[in-house]
Structure 1
Amino acid sequence: MRDWAAQDPDPRTRAELTTWIERAEQGDPAAAAELADAFAGRLQFGTAGLRGRMGPGPNRMNRVVVSQAAAGLGRYLARTGAAAGRVLIGYDARHNSERFARDSAEILAGAGFEVLLTAGPVPTPLVAYGIGHFGCAAAVVVTASHNPAADNGYKVYLGDGCQIVPPADAEIATEIAAVAEVPLGELARSPRYRLVGAELAEAYLDRIATLVAAAAPREVRWVYTPLHGVGAATVRQAVARAGFPAALEVAAQAEPDPDFPTVAFPNPEEPGALDLALELARTEGVDLVIANDPDADRCAAAIEQDGQWRMLRGDELGVLLGDQALRRGVQGTYAASVVSGSLLGRLARAAGQPYVTTLTGFKWIARTPGLVFGYEEALGYCTDPAAVRDKDGISALIRLLALAAELKAEGRTLADRLAEIEQEHGVYATDQLAYRVADLSLITGAMARLRADPPTTLLGEPVRFVDLAEGGALPPTDAVRLGGASVTVTVRPSGTEPKLKCYLEARSPVGSANPLDRLKAEVQGLVDGYLDVVR
């Protein structure tokens, strides 16, 4: 442990580790537990790259771990034929993000790559766009997206513009493990990287301006919050380029703040995250509320319906945006992940367009051949895959403004359009249960219990149990699905947070009582039982 402290170049991290060691030696059990966890193993490099708490030790996000990740990525790229290629690196406004990004730039430049580093914090979609714009072999974004303030992360893309998938993740992890045997001071570094700023932003904004037809309506009144993230500056410019009125911004959340002082969790899905935005909407009498998460790759919306403001579920917004594309006559493949609702598939097939269900995550959605629109219920939308092969909260925001303005010009609202879709196709109600835990073994145990003793009915209806870990139509993944004639439940561990997630869908004819609330209560009882067994 003291050897680790000696090699970490961050004096604050070294001091933190020294304090933990001293307190543990004095018999402090909390310090001993923190040390044990920080050195329990390496922070796992997977298909989301790295993500975790910042702090000292190999199981935390710090300059040692990030430097080794950059060096391992460089070795992987060189081994797979991208030696001396171009790598784009961007970062958000979290604590240490810029330092982690500069470490990565120096190490990859030292390994012989042509490195482009963003001149300041940027939304993740700009980096995803920049891969194709600059002809990159790979890209890195230092971000923890919507995770708590104590976290940071390291997202990796390859030259196809998509996030990494197996086996690339395991192969990069192997290279990182090999690099970890080399003292940090022996890793080659170089300051010869290039800063990119206006060129990237202007190219992305030029693309955004093409998303809305010149003759389309533009009148819409709206509230916006970036939740203390990096989205506001780009959103302001994108909205102006596309010709929409500027938003009424939530002033307390408009500028980047790595401490996220007004929210418990900087995730639009979390209860309370949009309270300030909804309060402003009620005061100002607007048409809708839009939010981005802190790195602006997700988009959330709230609408007024029957005199009350409510947040749209991710599936509802996905259906609205997908329906918008279908009505515009966009031809190609539509896609959603296995944890998302099934209504988009019904809409696509009714319009004569192919539809694909993928594994969870945009690393899979974006790889769908012929993709023209894809979404995931966790507020991720790929509305312009020819430019950004990932979820993009800014282009989704522009598409949503266009839809709201179009409907407003016709005397209708987003709520009206949802009701029209229901009248034509039936009610597809979705919801989610999420169990946040401190001990990940609880999730492992609950999943094992569910596989060993799954329910055979839900709401009295027979359901078929499918273990998605066994593969089949989709590659193997750690999830299970219970499907019946009118209900579907998918259960999986979160890939980015210490949560067990249950995704629910209940289908019913228009005019009949939808059983979603009853389904939610029954599934909650089941999962509570599985968790209790392993506590």
Structure 2
Amino acid sequence: MLEKFLNYLKDVSLENEYREELESIFPDKAHLDSAQLEEIQSRFSSELSFGTGGVRGLMGAGTNRINLPTIRKVTNALGQAAKELTKGQMIAVVGYDTRINSKKFAEHAASVLLDQGFKVWISSTPSPTPFLCFAMRRLGASCGIIITASHNPKKYNGLKAYDNQGGQIVEAWDKRIAELILESPLIMRPPSSPIANADLIPSEIEEEFVLNACSFLPLNTKSNLFPKIMYTPFHGTGGALVARIFKKAEVPLLLSASQSVMDGNFPTCPRPNPEEIRSYASVIADAMQSDARYILANDPDADRIGLVAEQKGYINELGNRWKLMTGNDLASLTLDYLAKTRPMSGSIITTIVTSDFLSAVARKHQLGVIKTLTGFKNIANSMNRLADIGDQYVFSAEESYGILIDGRLRDKDGVSSSVFVAKMLQDIESKGMSVWDAISDLQQSTGCFYNDLVNLEDPSSTGLEKFNRFMKELRTMDLSSFWGLPVVSRQDYLVGSTTHSDGRITPLLDREDDLAKAMPIPTSNVLKFYLDDNSFIAFRPSGTEPKLKIYIQSCTSLEHLRHLEQKVRAFLV
């Protein structure tokens, strides 16, 4: 590792900014103290792991950091994979968000692709991920790159890689890209093509995206009155395009004064995550001052959507009554409204850890349900398969605040979803209900679902091993003695089968509504335990970091949900 650090530092292809950064941290390389050795370990013990559709990490010098050498190595591998796996003219679309260095990294990636012979289209300004995915499909891209770290803090950045379908890469693509990265030199030579050789994404594609977003809205509504809705892009890319769509749809919208300015430092929300109520502190103050009833939010690259509204008797950790709706509930309400206003036959796609509430809503409207692994790259893969077999796509969502209505895209779309949710809020208000009433009303026909997520991290050197050992222990436990809970089945996605309490073993398939079209769900280190009342506990560790996510569902009550959570935490202590 020390040798790797020294070779990196003296490599002639390393940019001066990174050499100077390392020289300032390690001025005397012959006498390194323990803190400096630990820092070298952090920066050089590995390459940034290529997974979840790309790379993401802290910015800075080193092989385990996001920087220009990392960007060109991953971009080069993506471009080469695209040449091997696609046919026709090599076209690439490149975009970026508002983060620090995002534009620089995007232009660098574009130059690498130009060197490889691609015709490159690049966004002229920071742009939402959904729009860039739309542009990829509209322009017939062989591959695409978006520079973003989604909802991570300001010190992070990343590269999302897209295939010729405009979806995050899966299967043959990610395997080949990982191989090509390993075959690459420590630092590749910088590209020589000037960014001026790239073309800007045509402005008319933005207008097409706006019209497309409005095309899914119901034509006839009972009321022309809208509740006051405030929108926040969390200092990211969504503001201009969302405002434009709302204007086109003639839906009133207030923009958060404190969070609508593009700023990669995220001054009002150090963690710009629509899943965390603390991120909304500033926009809640704006909403209260403007008497807004609802807050809609997108994360900085605008692929996720959050909804916050006041609830009587509720107090959040900020000390006010504004409550963040779960991604599960928002997706379920949205599907129900879509199915009622645009009745159609077909299937929805969701993930194995998303609440069964969404599946229950789909069945209520006689829609098929397809389940796949976590992440929209897997949902996109299922969408491609639906198209191949001629089945109708209706909707997709996952619990982490991702929704996609338009079946022509292949990634979640927080931008178009925002205006659709606004129309749904208008419909709910016209009935004299709150959104919280609407959930209760919907569950009268689907049954009750209460869901929560427990995130566990152990940053110690043994953290990863600890969680892997825990998963092995879970696999050996007798179902009848699972913490005293009435378990009826264990779904093990690593082996692709369900073990039932009566001893039967059945395969894990992606759909139950049409077994003739069903396929095995891809393998993954996930365990899901169902109880006798249809509640579940699912465990999903990170493969590369000392993290464990535990998804809990109760079909009884909030009190029962907390009981299950206590059982889980007690076992992990």
Q: TM-score, normalised by structure 2?
A: 0.86
Question: SS of 2:207's equivalent?
Answer: helix
Alpha-carbon displacement from aligned partner over 1:453-508 (angstroms, at most 9, x marks no partner): 45643563235333212234311112211211232011113589863211110002
The alignment status of 1:492 with 2:517, answered yes or no, reads no
Alpha-carbon displacement from aligned partner over 1:123-142 (angstroms, at most 9, x marks no partner): 11111111111111111101
Question: SS of 1:375's equivalent?
Answer: strand
CA 1:214–1:497: 2 relative to 1, 3 Å: farther
Alpha-carbon displacement from aligned partner over 1:45-82 (angstroms, at most 9, x marks no partner): 12321111111111111100111111111111112234
Instruction: Tell me the residue number matched to 1:281.
Output: 287
Question: SS of 1:253's equivalent?
Answer: coil
In 1, Cα distance between equivalents of 2:139 and 2:67: 29
Query: Residues 342-491 of structure 1: matches in 2 within 5 Å?
Result: 342-368=356-382, 369=386, 370-386=392-408, 388-439=409-460, 441-453=462-474, 456-457=481-482, 460-471=485-496, 472-473=508-509, 474-486=521-533, 487-491=535-539
CA 1:245–1:448: 2 relative to 1, 3 Å: same
In 2, Cα distance between equivalents of 1:346 and 1:40: 46
- The question of whether the paired residues in 1 share the 8 Å contact of 2:8 and 2:187 is answered with no
Question: SS of 1:129's equivalent?
Answer: helix
Aligned partner (choices 230, 243, 248) of residue 241 of structure 1: 248
The alignment status of 1:27 with 2:2, answered yes or no, reads no
RMSD over aligned CA atoms reads 2.2
Which segment is superposed worse, 27-36 or 163-172?
Answer: 27-36
Alpha-carbon displacement from aligned partner over 1:414-438 (angstroms, at most 9, x marks no partner): 2222111122222100011112343
- The question of whether the paired residues in 2 share the 8 Å contact of 1:506 and 1:514 is answered with no
The aligned length equals 522
Instruction: Tell me the residue number matched to 2:310.
Output: 304
- The question of whether the paired residues in 2 share the 8 Å contact of 1:47 and 1:166 is answered with no
Question: SS of 1:490's equivalent?
Answer: strand
- The question of whether the paired residues in 1 share the 8 Å contact of 2:69 and 2:188 is answered with no
Question: SS of 2:348's equivalent?
Answer: strand
In 2, Cα distance between equivalents of 1:422 and 1:344: 11
Amino acid at match of 1:286: A
What displacement does 1:183 show? Answer: 4.1
CA 1:157–1:441: 2 relative to 1, 3 Å: farther
Instruction: Tell me the residue number matched to 1:532.
Output: none
CA 1:274–1:338: 2 relative to 1, 3 Å: same
Query: Residues 46-445 of structure 1: matches in 2 within 5 Å?
Result: 46-82=51-87, 84-180=89-185, 183-185=188-190, 189-191=193-195, 192-196=197-201, 198-216=203-221, 217-218=223-224, 219-247=226-254, 249-306=255-312, 308-328=321-341, 329-368=343-382, 369=386, 370-386=392-408, 388-439=409-460, 441-445=462-466
The alignment status of 1:525 with 2:567, answered yes or no, reads no
In 1, Cα distance between equivalents of 2:45 and 2:64: 7
CA 1:183–1:318: 2 relative to 1, 3 Å: closer
Which segment is superposed worse, 138-147 or 405-414?
Answer: 405-414
Question: SS of 2:150's equivalent?
Answer: coil
Amino acid at match of 2:406: D
In 1, Cα distance between equivalents of 2:198 and 2:106: 12
In 1, Cα distance between equivalents of 2:89 and 2:174: 21
- The question of whether the paired residues in 2 share the 8 Å contact of 1:339 and 1:503 is answered with yes
Which segment is superposed worse, 73-82 or 291-300?
Answer: 73-82
What displacement does 1:12 show? Answer: 2.7
- The question of whether the paired residues in 1 share the 8 Å contact of 2:49 and 2:544 is answered with no
% identical aligned pairs: 28
Q: TM-score, normalised by structure 1?
A: 0.92
What displacement does 1:104 show? Answer: 0.9
In 2, Cα distance between equivalents of 1:516 and 1:183: 51
In 2, Cα distance between equivalents of 1:133 and 1:209: 17
- The question of whether the paired residues in 1 share the 8 Å contact of 2:372 and 2:522 is answered with no
- The question of whether the paired residues in 1 share the 8 Å contact of 2:22 and 2:61 is answered with yes
Q: Which structure 2 segments of 5+ residues have no match?
A: 314-320, 387-391, 497-507, 510-520
Instruction: Tell me the residue number matched to 2:517.
Output: none
In 1, Cα distance between equivalents of 2:238 and 2:297: 9
- The question of whether the paired residues in 1 share the 8 Å contact of 2:71 and 2:108 is answered with yes
What displacement does 1:354 show? Answer: 0.6
- The question of whether the paired residues in 2 share the 8 Å contact of 1:232 and 1:254 is answered with yes
- The question of whether the paired residues in 2 share the 8 Å contact of 1:46 and 1:170 is answered with no
Amino acid at match of 2:432: G
In 2, Cα distance between equivalents of 1:441 and 1:131: 42
CA 1:439–1:265: 2 relative to 1, 3 Å: farther
In 1, Cα distance between equivalents of 2:537 and 2:179: 35
Amino acid at match of 2:525: D
Alpha-carbon displacement from aligned partner over 1:118-173 (angstroms, at most 9, x marks no partner): 11110111111111111111111010001121111111111112111123101011
In 2, Cα distance between equivalents of 1:516 and 1:458: 15
- The question of whether the paired residues in 2 share the 8 Å contact of 1:20 and 1:32 is answered with no
Alpha-carbon displacement from aligned partner over 1:279-327 (angstroms, at most 9, x marks no partner): 3334443231111111110000012222532110110001101111221
CA 1:142–1:109: 2 relative to 1, 3 Å: same
Q: Which structure 1 segments of 5+ residues have no match?
A: 530-535
